[in-house]
Structure 1
Amino acid sequence: MKRTLATLMALCMMLSLAACGGSGASSVPASVSASAPSSGSEPAPADGAVLNIWCWNDEFQSRFNDYYPEVKEVAEDKSTTTLNDGTIVKWTINPNENNNYQNKLDEALLAQDSAAADDKIDIFLIEADYALKYVDSDYTLDVRGDIGLTDADLSGQYPYTQDIATAGGKLKGVTWQATPGLFAYRRSIAKDVLGTDDPAQVQEALSDWDKFNAVAEQAAAKGYKMLSGYDDSYRTFSNNVSAPWVTGTTVTVDENLMKWVEQTKTYTDNGYNNKSSLWSDVWAADQGPDGKVFGFFYSTWGINFTLLGNSLETPEAEGGKAEAGNGIYGDYAVCEGPQPYYWGGTWICAAAGTDNTAAIADIMRSLTCDKAIMKQITEDTQDYTNNAPAMEELASSDFKSDFLGGQNHIALFAAAAPNIDMSNAGPYDQGLNESFQGAFKDYFDGAVDLETAKTNFQTSIGEKYPELTEVVWPE
């Protein structure tokens, strides 16, 4: 479907404005809602010599280089990877601060049709928070119809990982990871507060929000914080809303989000949290040896990467080892917590206009469908991968995490993953969730009252999304 020149020019102008728009830029779908490059519907019959992959960090690059069977050689600076058939994989990594990754990707996708064959994007990566922006566009190819993966290939994947990447009945992306969330708690603090660090008994004490709040009060009496900051529990509430953020031009604030507001205000006023924000220095320090926080809501990647790293007295980058005796390594455990949720995830998309569909098919099949490879990634990295049969095998085995005091956390993830529901995900999720959290921080700190916080949220919506004309709050 071709758009008029005037429409395309307007889209380019909107993209230019979006590139200067800070966090709001990710919400502008104009750059990817234009029609796909004409070459996307008729890929070249022979694969090209260069495969261009765009991402925002080196996570997928490391998975690719370590586990894709066709890798022959990796350049010393890791800028390229050579495959067995001579194909050169060129990596373009643009960090995602201030939506830099999305802005540059959008510009490149708009220029895809006129780019030289060896410069065209073949694969690009997307995150859950903004996945639908690209999934629901002509710039991503159908994994089945265009790339050639079959239902049999995809059968081991968790359904939610496909639901979020599906638009108009077409699967537009696949992922090697599933990201169910758990509650990671300090064993030593649990023993002091609850008299036990046993995951089953701790789960019983935290199995719903009323119990969770009661433990927060008990923890405070012992000198501990239940959570580090304002945002820690947010995704557990936002993943359990009853409807999408937006219907038509109306924004509906779900009752569950207001429960988060109420809880966080209580925690802040009563000293149950440390008034930190996600990714801040205080938040990271609260996870370390000097921290006094009962626990943290974390998904799969967060536990074995972020939490583990923050727990060490001497970081691995400074010569420390990830082992007992270094900081509080071994003092964490996990339980299900009060509600199932997920956090994050990275999807592999095939870009319309690629001349490497056969190579992309093999990469997707190997790195998101192959049971043996998925199981090996988990065994090596403890990352939870997107293959239910492989994860169930590990869940029922003697697999364990030394970081979690010998616990088989894969068993808990395997139980949680089937409960993830993506039916209420929408294209405005990232922007509205960020604005909602930001608008209420002043309220938590007592700088504004509740009604002013609501007004500030509505103002931010008007600035980010002028097409959204109404906001409905729960009664």
Structure 2
Amino acid sequence: MKKRMSMLLSMAVIGAMVVPMAACGSTTASSSAASSSSKTEASSSSEEVAAASTATSEAAPADAADEGTTLNIQCWNEEFKSRITDHYPGYEEVDATHGKIGDVNVVWTITPTDDNAYQNNLDAILPSNADADADNKVDLFLMEADYALKYVNSDVTMSMKDLGITDDDLAEQYQYTKDIATDKDGNLKGISWQACSAGFIYNREAAKEVLGTDDPEKVQEAVSDWSKFNEVAGKAKDKGYKMVSTVNDTYRVYSNNIKTPWVKDGKVNIDDNIKAWVDDSKKLVDAGETTTNDLWSDDWSKGFYPDGKVFGYFGPAWLINFSMAADQDGSIANQGGWGLCVGPQSFYWGGTWIAAATGTDNPTLVKDIILQMTTNKDILKEIAQKDSDCVNNKAVLADLAGSEDGNNAILGGQNPFKQLADGAEKVDMSNISNYDQGCNEEFQKAMKNYFDGKGSYDEALGQFKTAIAEKYPELTTD
């Protein structure tokens, strides 16, 4: 790697070590530069600079000059590219698919997820990556939780420890974000800059009508477990509201709280919490307290407006900020009419994990990108301010939770970060399996007929088992 690249890495590491801890910003706050505070801290403590210099020599060793001149990154959309473009020190955009970091050419390959195209692309190129030509080697690729273990439990991903990333580097990150990308031998193989913990987003006007209050703590008391939640659903119906837009709104909450994995020793298991979702959802549908509409459908999103008459939705910060029509006149979000509480159970929804591809010829730069984008508090602050991500750092979120900078206009000025941070502490993803995406999708699809009264539960279960046998012939379902 060229001399200029080593210089950029040195500057980035020094900046990461001496920048003071700062709060994330709200969705409406403007991004503030931190370079001046970095310089102040650096000049005020020679010991810190000395420590940073030591770390720099470890992050950018002399043999970095022998590394590759092309950095290839595989993604499914523009999200990570925009984060790098806006926040990674020294990145220069060349055009829509190319950039520069020092003398290293950055090549972005974006393959949409439609028809599984993104995973098919990874499956075709990653196994032979170590033998690929230098300019064609994949260096970084991104994963989602639903299929992360497919790549984590294989030889196509590098262990973070093999890159030189330590447990201490990641001490402020939430455990569930690590569990999702940890292989069967305990090796961490992916890191996320996001903590997509989620909660119950409720219509404040509906809460006043149904519960007599829209105070988040009072609403939380009313929906603190599924029994209470379902009781409120009856009261909401009496006032003309669906409790949730669809049974699919609640599914992730139940499925995130399973005690046994979908697949164990080659056999498909249906956890008691999944069965509870079926029982509770059937009662809600039969009582007219929710529907079976698909997520993201027009019918599902009608509740974003007052006339849609939906008491609440389950979702993370990105749903609140980007998916609830906040830019549309007359929407509840545009009027600041939503509130947030934890709900019956903590859960998460979404997130992107950065993985290092086995065979990369840019391990030093790969390590620095991962550390800068997922552990540098100053960069995480910028990401929260500019991009409204709920970032994966306990200290940053704690500081934000205690600041007016965290107040959210969509939530009527409520600061949601304490709830999101508390929720992230309670999320447990130790029971994930390689088959979660397929099992979750096929189970919800099969149960729709049962909820709609077009078949029995046993018939729906049979439909699920048939679909799983076709999708994963190596599994048993009985």
Q: TM-score, normalised by structure 1?
A: 0.84
Deviation at 1:325, TM superposition (A): 8.3
Deviation at 1:45, TM superposition (A): 6.9
Q: Deviations over 1:45-88 (max 9, x none)?
A: 722121111111111111111111121x2234x211222x1222
1:153 corresponds to:
169
Q: Which residue of 2 aligns with 1:68?
A: 88
Confirm or deny that 1:165 pairs with 2:184: no
Quote the offset at 1:442 in angstroms. Answer: 0.8
| Secondary structure, aligned partner of 2:378 | helix
Partners of 1:462 and 1:260 in 2: CA distance: 23
Change (3 A) 1:326 1:463: closer
CA distance in 2, matches of 1:92, 1:290: 43
1:447 to 454, 461, 473: 454
Unaligned segments of structure 2, at least 5 residues: 1-62
Partner of 1:313: 328
Asked whether 1:365 is paired with 2:383, we answer no
TM-score (norm 2): 0.83
Question: Counterpart of 1:104?
Answer: 121
- Residue 428 in structure 1 maps to residue 440 in structure 2: no
Displacement of 1:414 in angstroms is 1.2
**Aligned CA distance change for structure 1 residues 51 and 388 (closer, same or farther; 3 Å):** same
What's the Cα RMSD here? 1.8
Distance 1:89 1:285 in 2: 42
| Cα drift, residue 120 of structure 1 | 1.3
Equivalent residue letter for 2:423: A
How far is 1:339 from its partner? 0.7
> Quick one: distance in 2 between partners of 1:200 and 1:443?
35
Structure 1 letter corresponding to 2:100: T
Q: How does 1:26-425 map to 2 (within 5 A)?
A: 46-71=66-91, 73-76=92-95, 78-83=96-101, 85-145=102-162, 147-167=163-183, 168-307=185-324, 310-313=325-328, 328-398=334-404, 399-425=406-432
Partner of 1:286, secondary structure, is helix
Shift of 1:289: 4.9
Residues 338-374 of structure 1: CA distance to partner in whole angstroms, max 9, x if unpaired? 1111112110000011111111111011000111211
Equivalent position amino acid for 1:424 in 2: N
Q: Structure 1: which amino acid aligns with 2:375?
A: C
CA-CA distance at 1:444 after TM superposition? 0.8
Q: Quickly say closer, same or farther: Cα 1:135–1:329, change in 2 above 3 A.
A: farther
Work out the CA distance in 1 between the residues paired with 2:456 and 2:332.
Answer: 44
Three-state SS of the structure 2 residue aligned to 1:297 is strand
| Structure 1 runs, 4 residues or longer, greater than 3 Å off | 324-329
Partner residue in 2 for 1:13: none
Conserved 8 A contact 2:130-2:360: no
CA contact (8 A) 1:127 1:345 kept: yes
Other structure's SS at 2:291 match: coil
Per the TM alignment, residue 459 of structure 1 is displaced from its structure 2 partner at its CA by 0.9
Quote the offset at 1:292 in angstroms: 1.3
CA distance in 2, matches of 1:357, 1:74: 21
C-alpha contact (below 8 Å) 2:304/2:333 kept by paired residues? no
AA in 2 matched with 1:364: I
Contact between 1:81 and 1:90, CA under 8 Å: does it hold in 2? yes
Give unmatched runs, 5+ long, in structure 1. Answer: 1-42, 315-323
Q: Which residue type is aligned with residue 242 of structure 2? A: K
Q: CA deviation at 1:311?
A: 4.0
Q: Separation in 2 of the partners of 1:275 and 1:326?
A: 22
| Distance of 2:175 and 2:226 partners within structure 1 | 27
Q: Whole-Å Cα distance in 1 between the matches of residues 104 and 130 of structure 2?
A: 22
- Give the CA deviation at 1:162: 1.3
SS in structure 1 at match of 2:99: strand
Once residues 246 and 45 of structure 1 are traced to their aligned partners in structure 2, the CA distance between those partners, rounded to angstroms, is 45
The code of the aligned residue for 1:299 comes to P
| Equivalent-residue separation in structure 1 for 2:407 and 2:400 (angstroms) | 9
**Residues 384-437 of structure 1, C-alpha deviations (whole Å, 9 max, x = no match):** 111111111111222211111111101111111111111111111111111111
Q: Distance in 2 between matches of 1:82 and 1:108?
A: 23
Q: Compared with structure 1, are the counterparts of its residues 88 and 329 closer, same or farther at alpha carbon in structure 2 (3 Å cutoff)?
A: farther
One-letter code aligned to 2:97:
S
Give the deviation of 1:155 after TM superposition.
1.5
Distance 1:347 1:166 in 2: 11
Matched position secondary structure for 2:74: strand
C-alpha displacement of 1:44: 8.6
Name the SS of the counterpart of 2:158 in structure 1.
Answer: coil
SS at match of 1:92: strand
Q: 1:112 to 1:401 in 2, by over 3 A?
A: same
- Please tell me the residue identity of whatever aligns with 1:135: V
Deviations 1:87-124 (A, max 9, x none): 22111111112211101111121342443211111100
1:354 partner letter? T
